[in-house]
Amino acid sequence: MGIAKYEIIGRDGAWRIRHDGKAENEYATKEAAFEAAVAAASIALREGHDVTVTAPSSETATGAPPK
């Protein structure tokens, strides 16, 4: 099997998951994008792929815009 790589990208209030060269869905928080990436990675792992999930640090814990 191949490698399934999920990369959380973006900035406060506009986070995406890059996978297979695409980053289609947008999430309000980095945490929401991470949870979606882990769900997808779980399926890929079950299918026998090597899996990598990466997420950058940010100013706020969730990556939400500062209030």
Buried-exposed string 7-45: b where 16+ CB fall within 10 A, e elsewhere: bbebebeebbbbbeeebeeebebbbbbbebbeebbeebe
pLDDT at 42: 98
| Nearest Cα residue to 34 out of 9, 11, 59 | 9
Per-residue pLDDT tens listing for the chain (67 residues):
799 999 999 988 899 999 999 999 999 999 999 999 999 999 999 999 999 999 998 666 666 666 6
* Amino acid 62: pLDDT: 62
pTM: 0.83
Task: Please give the structure tokens belonging to residue 43.
Answer: 């399926």
Separation of alpha carbons 62 and 13, rounded Å: 10
Looking at residue 64, its pLDDT comes to 67
